[in-house]
Amino acid sequence: MSATTAVSATIVATGLRRSFGSVPAVRDVSLRAEAGRVTGLVGPNGSGKTTLMLMLSSLLAPDAGEISIGGFDPVEHPQEVRRILGWMPDSLGAWGSLSARETLVITGRLYDATRDAARERADDLLRLVDLETLAEAPARVLSRGQKQRLGLARALVHDPLVLLLDEPASGLDPEARVALRVLLRRLADEGRAVLVSSHVLSELEEVADDAVFLLDGATVAPDRVAAASRRRRAWRVRLADAAPAASVSAVAHALHLDPADLTAERLGVLVPLGSDGDAASALRALVEAGLAVVEFAPATGSLEHTLLDLRDGSPT
């Protein structure tokens, strides 16, 4: 990391509000993203994630509330914030005629790197995001996933302490998604604060240390999130050599459940269970009943389950 490591790599927002005319986009957002950790920003479309990211990146002033990026207010000290901040928007927004290498070199020069240093950094980053073979290709011919990788490289040009990444996994193929997870983990382990907004919750769950949930422009209180994460969710059971519809009766009998409470889907039978302890007991009962269980796992990840529960408005 760069010599700016003396600066605290922490993101703090308190009571943020932002409206566009009479339409509130962010009503009340407070969050904290710590150095050395990946924090996921989770919420449905229209929940205010992108507006929040724009405010954190110093590109949009809040109507109310306070922001600190590495100890700097992005409204009062935008240059100091941009010096330590790497911002990756949802779309590349680069000059289409510039090559991938030229995009990175020019970005480096904008951060006061010498021409030679900018070229060396560009080559390093092209290798990092696996775009070496497309170094001379103009940005306009890159696929969605390739543009995302170039956008990530551009955010890293000046070796920032804080990273704001808006949908970095969008358009990436499975191999590139694995590489992204590994890279984000490494960047956080080096002491950076990494805030990631993503709709790909399965990918986010693999890498995020913490999660902030947004609904209708407001952060969800931690106690409500905790309650939602503990509520019943579906576990998928698949039996060997048995179609899901034909497995419902056997699974229900082994678990002493009403078959009407179970759901047969293409990949297996969905069983509602209240906790990990209940799941462990259910698996033991299935095996003791002599059923050939070949899959037993949550039907949704923890982040997805929590978000869906919060959107359902289940009482705490």
CATH for 277? 3.30.70
Q: CB count, 10 Å around CB of 238? A: 17
Q: Which two tokens stand for residue 149?
A: 């990788």
Which domain CATH number covers 54?
Answer: 3.40.50.300
**Pair 237, 270 in one domain:** yes
For residue 271, what is the enclosing H or E element? strand 268-273
Q: Where are the beta strands (DSSP E) in the chain?
A: 11-20, 23-33, 37-42, 64-69, 85-88, 162-166, 193-197, 210-215, 218-219, 233-239, 263-265, 268-273, 293-298
Q: Which of 220, 255, 284 is the last residue of a domain?
A: 220
**Number of folded domains in the chain?**
2
Res 228: pLDDT: 74
113 and 72 inside one domain: yes
Q: What is the pTM of this model?
A: 0.82
180 and 293 both lie in a single domain: no
Per-residue pLDDT at 31: 96
State the pLDDT at residue 7: 61
Is there a single domain that holds both residue 195 and residue 58? yes
Output the six-digit token pair for 142: 């890159």
Q: Are residues 123 and 23 in the same domain?
A: yes
Q: Which of 195, 220, 245 is the last residue of a domain?
A: 220
Per-residue pLDDT, 313: 61
pLDDT at 19: 96
What's residue 290's pLDDT? 95
Q: Are residues 124 and 260 in the same domain?
A: no
Contact 85, 162 (CB under 8 A): yes
Residue 250 lies in domain:
230-312
- pLDDT tens, the chain, 316 aa long: 443 445 678 999 999 999 999 999 999 999 999 999 999 999 888 899 999 999 999 999 999 999 999 999 999 999 999 999 999 998 877 788 899 999 999 999 999 999 999 999 999 999 999 999 999 999 999 999 999 999 999 999 999 999 999 989 888 888 988 999 999 999 999 999 999 998 778 778 888 999 999 999 999 988 888 777 777 788 999 999 889 999 999 999 999 999 999 999 988 999 998 888 999 999 999 999 999 999 999 887 778 878 877 877 644 3
